C-alpha cells in the first residue's frame, strides 16, 4: 500500500494511492495515518480494503508528511562509501548516528526555506525507514520484521553550521529541512530494500545518482544497531544516508539559493519537488 496524508498543513486527511496512481480517501476508515495504523493488525485490515471502493479525491491537493505523530527522526551519516570519499572522511567502522528535529518535518513538495544567515545549505536524497513495531535489542536477522514501510527523505543540511562542532544536529534541524514523502510504502511492495535506485536534481541537472545496494550498513543492520541504544517506537523514522553528489562535494562546492528547484525520488517510493526560498531576517526588536 501507498499511504498518504493530504490537505492544508495541520489539516491533513488520510488516503492511499491506488494501482492507477489515483488518490483515494481513507476518511471513515482511519482517523489519520499514525503509529497505531502501522501495527501488523491495522495494516492487514487496511490491505483487505478494495481501493476501488474508496472515494476518489479530486484535484491536486498538497501532500503532507505521510505519517502523523512521529516520535523520533533519526539519521545516519556517511553511510555510502563513495559519499564518505567525496566528503574527505574515512569510512566509519560503525554507524554515525544523529537526530533531526521533529520541527524540521515538512511535506514532500513544501518549500525549503533558507534560514537567516545560512550560506551553505545542501541536499541529500535518502531512503527513510518507518518503524511499525516496538524494537528493543532486536537481532539483525529479524530486524526487517519491525519495519512498517519506506519513504523518500531529503536530509537538507546547512553545512556551515553542521561543521561548527562534532555534533551535526545544529545544521540538520532547521525548519523545512526534513521533507518526507510523498508516500509511506508498506514493506510488501518492496522486493529488496537493498536494491533501490535514488536520484536528485537541482534546476533539472542531475546531482545525485545512487543505489541502496552500496550502503555501508544495510537497513536490517541499522534497525538492529539502533535498537541496542534506544527503543525504536512505531512511527519513528530512520534516514539511512545519502549517495555521492551533494553540493559540498562538488568542485567548486554548489549550495542551494533562493529560486532553485530540487527534484528527488526513489522509484516505487515516489518523488519530491521543492522550491528554495529565502527567509528574511526578523527586524530588530521583533520576535521571529
Domain boundaries along the sequence of the chain: 2-53, 73-278
Strand partners, 158: 121
**Cell numbers standing for residue 105:** 518535518
Q: Is the pTM of this model over 0.85?
A: yes
Please report the pLDDT score of residue 51 as a whole number: 96
Give per-residue pLDDT as tens, 104-152: 999 999 999 999 999 999 999 999 999 999 999 999 999 999 999 999 9
Please report the pLDDT score of residue 279 as a whole number: 87
Give per-residue pLDDT as tens, 180-226: 999 999 999 999 999 999 999 999 999 999 999 999 999 999 999 99
Give per-residue pLDDT as tens, 55-98: 999 999 999 999 999 999 999 999 998 877 777 778 899 999 99
Q: What is the mean pLDDT of the chain?
A: 95
d(CA 201, CA 192): 24
d(CA 41, CA 39): 5
The answer, yes or no, to whether residue 288 has pLDDT greater than 60, is no
Q: What's the CATH number for 73-278?
A: 3.90.850.10
The answer, yes or no, to whether residue 44 has pLDDT greater than 60, is yes
Which helix (H) or strand (E) covers residue 115, if one does?
A: none
Question: What integer is the mean pLDDT of 12-41?
Answer: 96
Give per-residue pLDDT as tens, 233-285: 999 999 999 999 999 999 999 999 999 999 999 999 999 999 999 988 777 66
Amino acid at each position: 500500500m501507498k499511504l498518504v496524508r493530504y490537505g492544508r498543513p495541520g489539516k491533513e486527511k488520510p488516503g492511499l494511492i491506488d494501482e492507477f496512481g489515483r488518490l483515494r480517501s481513507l476518511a471513515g476508515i482511519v482517523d489519520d495515518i499514525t503509529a497505531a495504523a502501522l501495527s501488523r493488525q491495522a495494516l492487514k485490515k487496511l490491505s483487505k480494503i478494495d481501493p476501488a471502493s474508496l472515494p476518489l479525491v479530486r484535484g491536486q491537493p498538497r501532500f503532507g508528511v505521510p505519517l502523523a505523530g512521529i516520535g523520533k527522526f533519526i539519521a545516519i551519516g556517511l553511510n555510502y562509501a563513495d559519499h564518505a570519499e567525496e566528503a574527505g572522511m574515512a569510512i566509519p567502522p560503525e554507524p554515525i548516528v544523529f537526530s533531526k528535529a521533529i520541527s524540521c518535518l515538512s511535506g514532500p513538495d513544501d518549500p525549503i526555506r533558507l534560514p537567516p544567515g545560512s550560506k551553505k545549505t545542501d541536499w541529500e536524497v535518502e531512503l527513510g525507514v518507518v518503524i511499525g513495531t516496538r524494537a528493543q535489542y532486536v537481532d539483525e536477522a529479524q530486524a526487517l520484521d519491525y519495519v512498517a514501510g519506506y519513504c523518500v527523505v531529503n536530509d537538507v543540511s546547512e553545512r556551515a553550521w553542521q561543521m561548527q562542532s562534532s555534533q551535526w544536529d545544529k545544521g540538520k534541524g532547521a525548519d523545512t529541512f526534513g521533507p518526507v514523502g510523498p508516500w509511506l510504502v508498506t514493506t510488501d511492495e518492496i522486493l529488496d530494500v537493498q536494491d533501490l535506485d535514488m536520484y536528485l536534481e537541482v534546476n533539472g541537472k542531475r546531482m545525485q545518482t545512487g543505489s541502496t545496494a552500496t550502503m555501508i550498513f544495510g537497513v536490517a543492520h541499522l534497525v538492529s544497531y539502533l535498537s541496542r541504544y534506544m527503543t525504536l517506537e512505531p512511527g519513528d523514522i530512520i534516514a539511512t544516508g545519502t549517495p555521492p553528489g551533494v553540493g559540498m562535494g562538488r568542485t567548486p562546492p554548489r549550495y542551494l539559493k533562493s529560486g532553485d528547484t530540487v527534484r528527488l525520488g526513489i522509484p516505487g517510493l515516489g518523488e519530491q519537488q521543492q522550491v528554495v526560498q529565502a527567509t528574511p531576517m526578523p527586524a530588530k526588536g521583533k520576535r521571529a
